[in-house]
Chain A
Amino acid sequence: MTPEETRKMIDHLDESRTGRPSPSPEQLIDRDPQAAQEWYYLNLAVDAVRNAGLHEQVAFIKENLRKEQNAPAKPAHTEQYIAVPANQPTKPAAERSSGAIIRSISKYSLRAAAFILVITSSTVLYKYLTVSSSSLYERYFGAYNLNTSRGETTESPIVQAYDTKDWNKVIALAGATGARDNQVEFLAGMADLQLNRCDDAITHFEQVIAANAQASTDFYQDEAEYYLAISWLACKKVNQAMPILEKIKADPHHQYHQKVAEMSFFDLRLAQYKENK
Chain B
Amino acid sequence: MRAQEQYTDVELIAAISAGRELNEAIRFIYRQYSQATSSFIMQHGGSEQDADDIFQETVVAFIEVVQKGKYRGEASVKTFLNSIARNYWFNEIKKRDRSGLRDKQFELSRDKNEADVSHYISEMERKRQLRELVDQLGESCRKVLLLFYYENLSMKEMVEHLPYDNEQVVRNKKYKCLQALAGLIKDNPAIARQMQEILK
Interface positions of A (Cβ within 8 A of B)? 6-7, 10, 14, 17, 37-38, 40-42, 44-59, 61-62, 65, 78, 80-87, 89-90
Contact = CB atoms under 8 A, between A and B. Distances in A.
8 contacts: A40-B195, A41-B182, A44-B130, A50-B149, A50-B150, A52-B135, A59-B56, A89-B161
Interface of B: 1, 3, 22-23, 26-27, 30-31, 52, 56, 59-60, 63-64, 127, 130-131, 133-135, 139, 142-143, 145-152, 160-161, 175, 178-179, 181-183, 185-186, 191, 195, 198-199
Contact of B64 (A7, A40, A54): A54
B160 A46 contact: no
A100 to B, nearest CB: 14
A49 B181 contact: yes
B198 to A, nearest CB: 8
B64 A57 contact: no
A7 B198 CA distance: 24
Given A51-B64, A54-B64, A84-B143, 7 more contacts: A7-B175, A52-B135, A54-B63, A57-B22, A57-B26, A58-B60, A62-B52
Contact of B146 (A7, A10, A17, A84): A84
Most chain-A Cβ atoms within 10 A of its Cβ — which of B3, B59, B150, B198?
B150
A81 B149 contact: no
Contact of B195 (A37, A55, A59, A81): A37
Nearest to A13: B178
Contact of B185 (A17, A48, A57, A59): A48
B181 A45 contact: yes
B146 A42 contact: no
A6 to B, nearest CB: 6
A40 B195 CA distance: 9
Contacts of A81: 22-23
Contacts of A50: 149-150
Contacts of A44: 130, 182, 185, 191
Given A41-B182, A42-B182, A58-B56, A10 B175 contact: yes
A61 to B, nearest CB: 4
B27 A61 contact: yes
Nearest to B183: A41
A38 B146 contact: no
A41 B180 CA distance: 11
A80 B131 contact: no
Contacts of B191: 44
Contacts of B23: 57, 61, 78, 80-81
Most chain-A Cβ atoms within 10 A of its Cβ — which of B64, B139, B185, B198?
B185
B8 to A, nearest CB: 20
Contacts of B198: 40
A37 B147 CA distance: 25
Given A54-B60, A54-B63, A65 B131 contact: no
A85 B143 CA distance: 10
B60 A55 contact: yes
A58 B58 CA distance: 10
A5 to B, nearest CB: 12
Given A46-B149, A81-B23, A84-B147, A52 B142 contact: yes
A122 to B, nearest CB: 37
Contacts of B63: 54, 58
A8 B56 CA distance: 36
B158 to A, nearest CB: 9
A134 B28 CA distance: 68
Given A58-B60, A84-B143, A45 B185 contact: yes
A56 B150 CA distance: 11
Given A45-B178, A53-B149, A54-B64, A87 B134 contact: no
B70 to A, nearest CB: 14
Nearest to B199: A37
Contacts of A53: 146, 149-151
A43 to B, nearest CB: 9
Nearest to A36: B199
A14 to B, nearest CB: 8
A72 to B, nearest CB: 18
Nearest to A18: B152
A142 to B, nearest CB: 63
